[in-house]
Structure 1
Amino acid sequence: MSLIKGRTDDMLIIRGVNIYPSQIEAVIPRVPGLTTNYRLVVTREGTLDELTVEVEGSGDAGELARLVKETTGCSVVVKVVPPGSVPRSEGGKLQRVHDLRRL
């Protein structure tokens, strides 16, 4: 049994893999050109869940996808977006998780 890597109420289950946003946040700075402004978008394609990481900056999406898979064991889609693109609340706080499976 592995140690808890983040708050259990923040945990996402993607294709049977427990993923904590903090795990992804920890690897983003390892890719030059990316900022820590990110959002996780969870969708369901048929019966399979898919996780997309939207991160601001100009770094290598493939490198971040590789690091996330290495860290979590789950394949993700990475989209590098221009600075200021990740949605924020009225107070300016980043919206970290956007779960579209519930809609």
Structure 2
Amino acid sequence: MQPQFAESANRNRDITINIRAQQAQRDLIDRAAEALGKNRSDFMLETACREAETVLLDRRLFMLEEEKFHQFMELLDAPPSGNENLRKVLTTKAPWE
């Protein structure tokens, strides 16, 4: 999934964002950006936008009538039904272990 606000290299940017960081933080960001073949600004902007989208997408609002809300909560609180395939996946040792 491509972030909605991903910047292309030839797109003009007209807003400046300034932040202060510790030397170790900047060095870490620079190493990560270099590992991806990006400059610091591109790396930081893409990473910040991706995280911002994740935060906003994780927010959910459920509006239900009281009776439907109680039914919904009962379903969430009920133990999961048996699922043999899921049980097999969760109990199989990973190949790297």
Larger Rg: 2
**TM-score of Structure 1 vs Structure 2, range by shorter chain:** under 0.3
State TM-score, norm by structure 1: 0.23
More strand by share: 1
